[in-house]
Structure 1
Amino acid sequence: MAETTSFARNRYWVLRHGKSIPNEKGLIVSSMENGTRPEYQLAPEGVDQAKRAGELFRKVLEENSMPIENVRICYSPFSRTRQTAEVVASVLNIQFEGAQCKVMENLRERFFGPSYELMSHDKYHEVWAIDEKDPLMKPEGGESVDDVASRLVEAIANIESLFQGCTILVVSHGDTLQILQTILNSAKPDAASTYDDLTSRMQTVRTPSILSEHRKFSLLTAELRAVI
């Protein structure tokens, strides 16, 4: 079994999807309707990136004596994340449709709203500027940082209830994983905390001062990172 912390039942790694067709085209694709379409899956370069990420993860597992049978891959339903998770599962020789892989809607991309959907990805900076000033403010028709944090707490609570002693690989998106890392990093044990479980800690750190700093945890495409 994987060694776990005193406040989490599992160990967590995050992986941003490989370079996607929207990345290549410079488009924001953040709605569930568009994000699950096959035309917005990985670009060929992204498939190669996902393979390399899978190989790196396999090496990490071997070096830390973490058995592959204890790995659980939890992924966003978007086509680019699903494909990334499937490639990694193949590298690890894990059956993608089996018990070790789980699609979770709460791990989906942050919805930036209809005024940003299918627009240039240069517009991300407009949203991030708002996030830094007020992470509770929503882009028109979209999700605020705190909206995403709320569903991520639910996602982690679900994972913690389903698995114990596992190595969890969360395959998701740039903003989603930035926000997840922000609250997981702040939820680590400290003397001031009165809670001994991960999801309660995550709830207590959903504060504007913490959430406004999510850009500090940005990831490159197919970047793998240990969290807790």
Structure 2
Amino acid sequence: MRIFLIRHGESIQNTYENFDNLPDHKIYLTQKGEQQADECGKFLKDYCTKNNIDLSNATMFVSPYARTRKTAELVNNHLQIEDVKEDVALIEHQYGLFDNIEDDERLAKFPDEFELYRRYYNNDGKFYIKFPQGESPLDVALRTRQFLETLFRDYKEGKENFFVVSHGTT
């Protein structure tokens, strides 16, 4: 079994540009991010060709967010994998009320929630504490583990090569 992990290309969120308060799932790639995805596809196609990796028996799993969908599309322009599946287990870490805001703004907007979060975080609880109305890193790990079970199931059914297009925290 081979698993190729691909993080989406640079997004508008990564550049700290004004992204018009778009919800996380609608954050899109920058022009540079699209170029990165295209280059990734070229690299992977070359790698697979040189190493005799059968792409006819491959599956590509994709987070359903705009930036991962576009990355997958651009990568797959080169790989031509027919079996492409979206999986919600691959979505970005959910930051809830704290999504896209810095600590000073978190404190100003949500003082009680921020204080509780900070207290747990600073007391060796950063893996377990959930963002208010969001997820903890533990939640993300459990979700990712469920996804790996999907890969193992597909492997047992004869699939050999997997390409996973996701996020930095999943």
Shorter-normalised TM-score: what interval? 0.7 to 0.9
Structure-2 change in CA distance of 1:13 and 1:45 (3 Å) = same
**3-state SS of paired residue (2:13):** helix
Paired position in structure 2 for 1:86 = 73
**3-state SS of paired residue (1:159):** helix
* Uncovered stretches (5+) of structure 2, i.e. residues with no partner: 106-113
Structure-2 change in CA distance of 1:108 and 1:88 (3 Å) = same
AA aligned to 2:39 is R
Mapping of residues 43-122 of structure 1, within 5 Å: 43-94=30-81, 98=82, 100-114=83-97, 116-120=98-102
AA aligned to 2:153 is S
Q: 1:172 aligns with which of 160, 166, 170?
A: 166
Considering only CA atoms, is the larger Rg found in Structure 1 or Structure 2? 2
| CA distance in 2: counterparts of 1:82 and 1:121, whole angstroms | 30
| CA distance in 1: counterparts of 2:91 and 2:69, whole angstroms | 10
Deviation at 1:63, TM superposition (A): 2.2
* Uncovered stretches (5+) of structure 1, i.e. residues with no partner: 1-9, 177-228
- Contact 1:75 1:107 (8 Å CA) reproduced: yes
- Contact 2:59 2:159 (8 Å CA) reproduced: no
Paired position in structure 1 for 2:148 = 156
The C-alpha deviation readout for 1:111-148, integer Å capped at 9, x for no partner, is 0121x21325999xx99x93993211212222111101
**3-state SS of paired residue (1:142):** coil
Q: 2:134 aligns with which of 134, 138, 142?
A: 142
- Contact 1:131 1:144 (8 Å CA) reproduced: no
Worse-matched range after superposition: 130-139 or 50-59: 130-139
Q: 1:16 aligns with which of 7, 10, 17?
A: 7
Off by >4 Å, runs of 4+ in structure 1: 120-123
**3-state SS of paired residue (2:52):** coil
TM-score (norm 2): 0.78
Structure-2 change in CA distance of 1:122 and 1:75 (3 Å) = farther
The total of aligned residue pairs comes to 153
**Percent of residue pairs bearing the same amino acid type:** 29
| CA distance in 2: counterparts of 1:23 and 1:42, whole angstroms | 9
AA aligned to 2:149 is A
| CA distance in 2: counterparts of 1:142 and 1:76, whole angstroms | 18
**3-state SS of paired residue (1:161):** helix
| CA distance in 1: counterparts of 2:38 and 2:122, whole angstroms | 33
Paired position in structure 1 for 2:24 = 35
- Contact 2:129 2:136 (8 Å CA) reproduced: yes
TM-score (norm 1): 0.59
